[in-house]
Each structure stands twice: as C-alpha cells, then as structure tokens.
Amino acid sequence: MRTRAIGKRQVGVIGLGAMPMSVAGHMPDENQSIRTILAALDAGVTLVDTADAYTPSHTDVGHNERLVARALSLWGGDTGSVLVATKGGHTRTPEGWGRDGSLDYLRKACDRSLKALGVDSIGLYQHHRPDPNVPYEETMGALKELHDAGKIQMAGISNANPEQIRLARAILGDRLVSVQNEYSPRFRSSEPEIDVCEELGLAFLPWSPLGGIGRTGETTERNAVFTGIAAARGVSPYQVCLAWELARSPVVIPIPGASRPESILDSVRAADLELTAEELARLNG
C-alpha cells in the first residue's frame, strides 16, 4: 500500500479504526475481531486507531487497546512497522461518557494505556476531546510532559478547531503530528481543520470517514453521487468515499472502522482507486 506521513513515520494511506470491536450491543466475538485486525495488517494497514474509552462498559476501560495488543502479538509480520494510535481524556463512568483533560488524569490514563497495550512507549498518543473545565494549555502541557518523559513518541489531538490546533502546535512544536476530527460525505465541517493541518504539515485522520454512505434521509441525494460513481467503476461506495477523502489533501489518512475482515479489506482497496477530476467535482458539489 502507498504511504503517507505521520510525523517521521510512514503509514499506509488507509488505517483501521478499531472502535466498532468494542461497542456494547454490537461488538463481535473476540475471534472475529482478531481476524479483522490480522486481515488489515496482512493487507498492508500499518495504522491502527484505538482509545482507552473504547469499551463496552465503564468496568472494562482499555478493552479495545487490549484487543489490539492481543492481535499484534499473534501477527507473524513486523509489528515494528505498525503505528498504534490511542487516545486519552475521554472518560467512562457509570453515568456515561465524560471528559478530563487535567494533567493528573492524563498521566494516569497514559500509564493505564501503556499497560493495556503492553508497551514501554506509545507510538501516537492523542488527546481525545477538549475538556471545557480545563484550559487547553494545561492539557497540551500534559502531552508535552508525557512526550519528554518518553512515555509517548508522538502527540496528537482530536476534535479540535483551528485555533486549538495552532495553540497545540505553539506548545508542542514538532511533538504534535496529527489531528483526528470527524470528516465524511455527511460531515464536511472539518474542511478548515484540514487546511490548517496541510499548512502546518500535520496528518489529518478522519474519524467516522464513511459516515452517511449507505444511509437515507438528508444525505440521499449526496449519496446518490457516490453510489453512482461506484456503480460505474464497479467498486463499493465505501471505496469511492475513502478515495474522495484521500484526494482532498496529501495529509489525509482515513481510519475507517471495521469489525469484519471483509469490511476492512474493501476499504483497503480504496488506496488504489484514482478518481478523475470530473468525478471529484461531482462529489464535491
């Protein structure tokens, strides 16, 4: 698979979002999840995205991280070529999802992720979501501390606006390598963040990159363009969606979620799909 840069690392242009393997009520059995991750790795995927908060229950924080770690331990390939990206700062409690961007919490969260992943240093550690009760400067300072302590090799942020991206860059410097925001045919509001990432040389990792494809309602007309081009090309609409995102900017690296081998293998084929200028114009319309 062709590659793109995250910091000084090169990863395949299509990554794997592991979250669907840990969603309560929808998660597959562990064997299927392991097969899915191994199929992705065998197909050339070298970026796997997870988070401590991806868990079916607040009693099992780190579930998804441990699943990824187990799959890597079973893979016969070069695990050193795989960049595992995890996140901290989104909490799971009996009341549901919460946020904690404090220095003390992120120290504890990072240590817990190190243990769950079974590593001494995390390849890419991302702050999951801004905490309105903690100054963003403090949270970025926590990432800087974790990096300088050797606990993380690269830092990223998620769900950040352009101002937060620039502030993070000012505090973290070259330690900051990526931004992970929602972006898909249905959700295009992250266009300004993509432009800032391209300006600053940061990777942009769209989460939920297939959002809207195959759905009905307000996105039907837009979906029709994607499905029409897919039918003409003899590929899936999901491949067209990912190829459209790859064409948006050289810093974009989609991380489609999957819980079946067939799903991620279909997404991987988007790496070889080149859309024409006319097709892109229609998709951008």
With vertex at residue 265, the alpha carbon angle to CA 127 and CA 16, rounded to the nearest 5 degrees, is 5
Catalytic residue, chosen from 54, 105, 183, 238, is 54
Query: Over 90: is that where the pLDDT of 96 sits?
Result: no
Which tens digit of pLDDT belongs to each residue from 170-212?
999 999 999 999 999 999 999 999 999 999 999 999 999 998 6
Is residue 34 in a domain?
Answer: yes
Flag whether 174 is in a domain. yes
pLDDT tier for residue 223 given thresholds of 50, 70 and 90 = confident
Tell me what percent of the residues of the chain surpass a pLDDT of 70: 96
Cβ neighbours of residue 221 closer than 8 Å, sequence gap 6 or more:
none
pLDDT at 212: 61
Q: Can you give the pLDDT at residue 26? A: 85
Bigger pLDDT: 33 vs 214:
33
- Of the segments 57-61, 85-89, 185-189, 214-218, which one has the largest average pLDDT value? 85-89
Per-residue pLDDT tens for 131-184?
Answer: 999 999 999 999 999 999 999 999 999 999 999 999 999 999 999 999 999 999
Is 104 among the domain residues? yes
CA distance 82 to 94: 34
- Residues for the chain: how many in total? 285
Tell me if 110 sits within 8 A of 125, measured CB to CB. yes
Specify the DSSP class assigned to residue 157: E
Q: With contact defined as beta carbons under 8 Å apart, do 117 and 105 qualify?
A: no
pLDDT higher than 70, residue 31: yes
Task: Tell me what pLDDT residue 216 has.
Answer: 39
DSSP conformation class of 285? -
235 in any annotated domain: no
Query: Concatenated DSSP letters for 206-234?
Result: -BSTTTTTT--GGGHHHHHHHHHHHHHHT
Q: Is 284 inside a domain boundary? A: no
Mean pLDDT of the 262-275 span: 97
Interval 216-233 mean pLDDT: 77
pLDDT at 220: 54
Is residue 267 included in any domain, yes or no? no
Mean pLDDT, the chain, as a whole number? 95
CATH number at residue 100: 3.20.20.100
Domain span at residue 40 reads 3-218+249-261
pLDDT at site 164: 98
Please list, in sequence order, all residues whose beta carbon lies within 8 angstroms of the beta carbon of residue 11, skipping any fewer than 6 positions away. Answer: 3, 4, 5, 46, 47, 83, 253
pLDDT above 70: residue 5: yes
Task: Reply yes or no on whether the pLDDT at 259 is more than 80.
Answer: yes
Q: Averaged over 230-244, what is the pLDDT?
A: 96
Task: Calculate the CA 150 to chain-centre distance.
Answer: 22
Whose tokens are 């837009």? That residue is 222
Residue 56 falls inside a structural domain: yes
Token pair in block for residue 203: 């990777």
Total count of domains within the chain = 1
Mean pLDDT of 72-82: 97
pLDDT at 188: 93
* Residue 285: count of CB within 10 angstroms of its CB: 7
Write the DSSP assignment of 86-100 as a string of letters: EEESEEEETTEEEE-
Q: Is residue 54 part of a domain?
A: yes
pLDDT of residue 285: 83
- Does the active-site annotation cover 54? yes
- pLDDT band of residue 219 (cuts 50, 70, 90) is very low
